[in-house]
Amino acid sequence: MPSYEDLEARIIDTGICRVCGACILACPNSHIKFIEGKPHRPKRTLDCVSCTTCYDACYMLRPGLMEDIEGSIVGWGQKESIGIYRRILAARTREQHMAKARQDGGIVTSLLIHALGETTIDGALVVGRDGWQPVAYIAKTRGELISSAMTKYGATPILKELRAAVVDHGLSRVCLVGSPCHIQSMRYLQHRNLPLASRVKLTIGLFCRENYDCHCLEDKVKERGLNIEEIDRFNVADEFDIYAGGKRLSFPITEIKGCVPRHCLTCEDFASELADISVGSDGSPEGWSTVIVRTEQGEKVFSALERSNAIETKAVRNPDHLKEIAARKRAKGKQTGDIFRLSEEGVEKREIAARLGITEDRVSHRLEGL
């Protein structure tokens, strides 16, 4: 019978844990905590004997099941690199007071505020921040939603706050806003009929090229002569952009590759393919967001926002660029998974490179992830 020890040995200690927070959420007695950047059970108790709940809650242990889950959520159409969807468009908010708080088009915040006003949701699980350290946050008001706007880079176990949202705050119609791993994990928990997961009525997934360790990122910023507290926002596209004091500092993505956690290197989902609505900046001009509507619920919520006249929309100028980014991430994730597997089997770097048809430098680079 699998246990927490098996979860720790197979997922947490190997570095492939997605840090979604599902195991923390699922533990009926709250024995698993978030400690030093990963789930950890400080002490084994009598409750843990013959209990498989945390192990069963990890979607990383059931990779073959996710395709069936996707079919039940978004349908069985022809799948592209950005997943199955109903429509794709560019959008931005008309709310001028949100200009300073938004990352790009302000669409995630606009969706949340409108859904809250229409009582489609009564709160949201989002990522807030302590400095630039991302923290899981329960937002229940317009002000709290606006204060949680903008992208933060760093692994955050958002799902662990769902129990508090439901039990302590009394929420019953929750929106989950997260990266692809959070969305996949929630869909898996809903598939398993975890009671708390049924309270999530809407999912908004964010585009994600990769994430970064916050402390490592802070060190990189210092090397550029900046204090991380002086930064207004970050943005990752073809370059790594830092905005501070009305100025933008850009440098190559390759300079911060050492800050990418190991689990990000094997991820193949760029566009949050299991979300009701996916949102990101890639594919749209500056100040706009790309929106991918995937499900019936997503269409209902986004169409209502359009009718409210709170946003403006237009066609995505270059959807092929977006699909190319997604295809590259999928190929990179698969290749990196192969590199890790071969390395764990004791195969030398030179031989791994030969088998996969890549350079030895690339193999070394992938193995250097945090």
Q: Using one digit for the tens of pLDDT, what is the confidence trace for 43-69?
A: 999 989 999 999 999 999 998 888 889
Asked if pLDDT for residue 370 goes beyond 60, the answer is no
Could you read off the pLDDT of 117-165 as tens digits, one per residue? 999 999 999 999 887 888 999 999 999 999 888 778 888 999 999 999 9
What sections of 65-179 are H helices per DSSP?
A: 66-74, 107-117, 142-147, 162-163
Q: What percent of the chain shows pLDDT beyond 90?
A: 65
Measured over all CA atoms, what is the biggest interatomic distance in the chain, rounded to whole angstroms?
59
123, 133, 197, 204: which is closest to 160 by C-alpha? 197
Say whether 168 sits in a helix, a strand or coil. helix
Asked if residues 299 and 235 have their Cβ atoms less than 8 Å apart, the reply is no
Could you read off the pLDDT of 201-236 as tens digits, one per residue? 999 999 999 888 888 888 888 888 888 788 888 888
Say whether 161 sits in a helix, a strand or coil. helix
Give the H or E element holding residue 299: helix 296-307
The mean pLDDT value of the chain amounts to: 91
Six-digit token string for 305: 């926002």
- What is residue 369's predicted lDDT score, i.e. its pLDDT? 62
189, 196, 157: which is closest to 38 by C-alpha? 157
Nearest-angstrom CA–CA distance, 329 and 317: 21
Nearest-angstrom CA–CA distance, 329 and 198: 31
Asked if residues 273 and 82 have their Cβ atoms less than 8 Å apart, the reply is yes
